[in-house]
Amino acid sequence: MPESQTNLGWDVLLDLSGPDGGPRHERLARALRAAIRDGALPLGTALPPSRALAADLSCSRWLVTQAYAQLIAEGYLTARTGAATRVSWSPERDDRSAPARQVAEPPRYDLAPGLPDLRAFPRRRWADAVRDVLTTLPHQEFGLPPHGGHPRLRAVMAEYLRRCRGVTTTPNDVTICAGVTEGVTQVCRALVAAGITRIGVEDPSWGRTRQAAAAAGMDVVPVPVDDDGLRVDRLGGLRAVIVTPAHQFPTGTVLAPARRSALVEWARDVDGLVLEDDYDAEFRYDRRPVGTVQGMAPAHVALFGSVSKTLSPALGIGWYVLPPAWTCAAAATPPVVDQLALATFVERGGYDRQLRAVRLRYRARRDALVAALAAHLPDARITGVAAGLHLLLHLPGTPDTASLVRRAAAEGLRLVDLDTYRGTPERDSTLVLGYGNLADSAVGPAVTLLAALCDGGHLTSR
């Protein structure tokens, strides 16, 4: 075995040809010392007997015993008569200056928005879909993902979007991507390439969407939102805007019919592009979900969606539908197996069944949360339509919600205030309460703790 890299028998390689040179026993000691410091030889590891290592190195046993003796004297190794020579030092034990690694504990009660019920993920049906793909997929399909997504998933999503969301599209118009943020980034880059460098974004709104537009090189212009949704009359001077018309995040409003018509008229007048994030569209509890704006003006609306709220963000699968006149660079696409598993899941009706099941679950959980808030915080006001995975809680008086959020975190209750999603904080008294991933049994205790914290802070302190 070459002297420069000698295998000790447990796949740890030693480099005896370092630039410092020197006698071979010093080079061996140096190589062993480096392996211990790097963690390749962990604390407690037994080294080979000196005779065995000498045979591997084609050297005298004296050379090995000298190296071992040196490291024993330095405290890296320990030896006892009749027992193996073992590593007695580790980087973690010796590094007194490194700060202790802090692992954040999950909160007892998580009322932050953004997650679906992770307990409800359809593990068995998804596993069946993956198994079917792996056992039937031709070997040629295990290559690189096709540009724009696998044709089968593009066709399946085109049919689903036409059937359930009123989208005007063909499979060629659908692009599969890693999520809404990825899709918005690519389309914003296409806008910049076309000379459109300013884009309106709802204020307040999801921060990652604003960041995606800015990262693509666009000047982000906040556009206010009221009880009827986006203020279309404030789009002057713009040719692009990002909206969440089905269920605005975080205010929970739905874009009013007159505003929808005005938005379409604006896009046609300025030859602009509406980037429609179909956020939470599948979850409406008081009536059927409204259709997409894209269906009203497919030549001027790009539609974005994903399975992050309907299944899980861990899947990393999204899509966007571009008007035929627009093209953009290839987006990052999910693995082919995952794409085809989703296609199978939708084709077999699993996706529709999942949506029906969680819709009932979320409706019941929202009702329980509203009832608990009414009982424990009767002076607070709740807004937002009966939809989605969050609601707004307006606390009475002028409490310092930032302080409330910090005190709640110390008690194991995770909260988010509305200012988190604003471009410019207004320091009002509103919390954005998410209930998607909150266990049903935790609704009562979470609200009880929230009420106690509000009472302890006297609600009106500033």
pLDDT at 101: 52
Portion of the chain with pLDDT greater than 70, in percent = 91
pLDDT tens profile 292-341: 999 999 999 999 999 999 999 999 999 999 998 888 877 778 999 999 99
With 90 as the cut, is the pLDDT of residue 104 above it?
no
Reported confidence tier of residue 20, pLDDT bands at 50, 70, 90: low
CB atoms within 10 A of CB 444: 15
Please tell me whether residues 308 and 341 are part of one structural domain: yes
CA distance 45 to 85: 8
Q: Which of 75-79, 161-165, 195-199 has the lowest mean pLDDT?
A: 75-79
pLDDT at 459: 47
Q: How far is CA 260 from CA 228, 272, 293, 320, 323, in A?
A: 10, 15, 7, 20, 18
Q: How far is CA 348 from CA 157, 208, 343, 354, in A?
A: 13, 33, 9, 11
Question: Residue 9 is part of a domain; what is its CATH number?
Answer: 1.10.10.10
Please tell me whether residues 217 and 269 are part of one structural domain: yes
With 50 as the cut, is the pLDDT of residue 460 above it?
no
100 is a domain residue: no
Task: Give the residue, 119 or 57, on which the prediction is more confident.
Answer: 119
pLDDT at 431: 96
Please tell me whether residues 155 and 55 are part of one structural domain: no
Closest of 74, 76, 21 to residue 47, by C-alpha: 76
pLDDT at 4: 41
pLDDT at 7: 40
pLDDT at 21: 66
Q: Which of 5-9, 123-127, 384-388 has the lowest mean pLDDT?
A: 5-9
DSSP string for residues in 78-117: E--TTS--EE---HHHH--SSPPPP-PPPPSEE--SS---
With 80 as the cut, is the pLDDT of residue 199 above it?
yes
Please tell me whether residues 79 and 193 are part of one structural domain: no
Portion of the chain with pLDDT greater than 90, in percent = 67
103 is a domain residue: no
> What mean pLDDT is predicted for residues 92-114?
71
Question: Residue 264 is part of a domain; what is its CATH number?
Answer: 3.40.640.10
Tokens standing for residue 449 = 């703790």
pLDDT at 15: 66
Please tell me whether residues 37 and 126 are part of one structural domain: no
* Domain limits for position 23: 5-94
The structure tokens 């193996």 sit at 84
Please tell me whether residues 133 and 229 are part of one structural domain: yes
pLDDT at 178: 92
Cα 74–chain centre separation: 47
Closest of 366, 410, 444 to residue 113, by C-alpha: 366
Reported confidence tier of residue 129, pLDDT bands at 50, 70, 90: very high
295 is a domain residue: yes
Cβ 309 vs Cβ 338: under 8 Å: no
Q: How far is CA 101 from CA 40, 104, 378, in A?
A: 21, 10, 42
E strand or H helix at 446, and its extent?
A: helix 443-456
347 is a domain residue: yes
Tokens standing for residue 303 = 């539609």
pLDDT at 456: 63
3-state secondary structure of 302: strand
Please tell me whether residues 300 and 449 are part of one structural domain: no
pLDDT tens profile 365-381: 999 999 999 999 999 99
Reported confidence tier of residue 39, pLDDT bands at 50, 70, 90: confident
Phi, psi of 154 (to 5 degrees): -60, -40
99 is a domain residue: no
Residues found in the chain: 462
Tokens standing for residue 215 = 């990262």
Predicted TM-score (pTM) of this structure = 0.78
Please tell me whether residues 170 and 263 are part of one structural domain: yes
265 is a domain residue: yes
Question: Residue 372 is part of a domain; what is its CATH number?
Answer: 3.90.1150.10
pLDDT tens profile 218-231: 999 999 999 999 99
3-state secondary structure of 350: helix
pLDDT tens profile 373-416: 999 999 999 999 999 999 999 999 877 898 999 999 999 999 99
Please tell me whether residues 126 and 71 are part of one structural domain: no
> 457: which residues sit within 8 A by CB, 6+ positions away?
399, 400, 403, 404, 407
Reported confidence tier of residue 3, pLDDT bands at 50, 70, 90: very low
With 60 as the cut, is the pLDDT of residue 186 above it?
yes
414 is a domain residue: yes
Across all residues in the chain, what is the average pLDDT? 89
The domain boundary residue, chosen from 302, 319, 353: 353
CA distance 17 to 22: 10
- How do strand 381-383 and strand 390-394 relate by DSSP bridges? antiparallel
Beta pairing partners, 441 = none
Q: Which of 15-19, 38-42, 132-136, 230-234 has the lowest mean pLDDT?
A: 15-19
The domain boundary residue, chosen from 311, 335, 353: 353
Q: Which of 61-70, 153-162, 441-450 has the lowest mean pLDDT?
A: 61-70
CA distance 278 to 266: 19
pLDDT at 321: 97
Burial letters 169-190, b for 16+ CB under 10 A, else e: bebebbbbbbbbbbbbbbbbbb
319 is a domain residue: yes
Tokens standing for residue 322 = 């571009």
E strand or H helix at 431, and its extent?
A: strand 430-434
pLDDT tens profile 251-291: 999 999 999 999 999 999 999 999 999 988 899 998 888 89
What sign has the CA pseudo-torsion 277, 282, 285, 286? positive
pLDDT at 268: 97
Please tell me whether residues 75 and 184 are part of one structural domain: no
Please tell me whether residues 366 and 427 are part of one structural domain: yes
pLDDT at 6: 43
Please tell me whether residues 248 and 382 are part of one structural domain: no
Q: Domain count of the chain?
A: 3
